[in-house]
Amino acid sequence: TPPVCAMILTFGMTNLGILTGGGAQVIAVQQFALRLATPLILLGADLRKVSRGSGVLLKAFLLGTLGTLAGSMAGFAVLRGPFIKALGADAARVASALTA
């Protein structure tokens, strides 16, 4: 896609020394271009084709997500006493941060 080609060309020219890098203005422009390129890539995607092609992968991802959630909840339930004793009121927050 054009945004990806533009990013690759820019990175390549910077590495070859054709474009200067490291200046505050260059960094600001690169960050802006990167933020702009990501939605442009997603807008060009055919969602029907993506959903058909990623069906098995999506099911595996959802299964892994549910397994992680169940494991973290079971672990917190088993270790709730020591966890609350060590962390106090922040125990649930720490458990959720570790799960994420």
| pLDDT of the chain, 100 residues: tens digit per residue | 777 888 788 888 888 888 776 678 778 887 888 888 888 888 887 878 877 878 788 889 999 999 998 998 898 889 888 888 888 888 888 888 888 7
Long-range contacts of 3-9, Cβ-Cβ distance < 8 Å, separation of 24 or more: 3/36, 3/37, 3/40, 3/41, 4/37, 4/41, 6/33, 6/37, 7/33, 7/34, 7/37
Query: Residue 67's pLDDT is what?
Result: 94
Residues 99 and 55 in one domain: yes
pTM over 0.85: no
Query: Residue 21's pLDDT is what?
Result: 66
Domain span at residue 37 reads 1-45
Q: How many domains does the chain contain in total? A: 2
Residues 54 and 19 in one domain: no
Residues 64 and 95 in one domain: yes
Residues 67 and 52 in one domain: yes
Residues 35 and 53 in one domain: no
Structure tokens at 1: 């896609």
Residues 26 and 65 in one domain: no
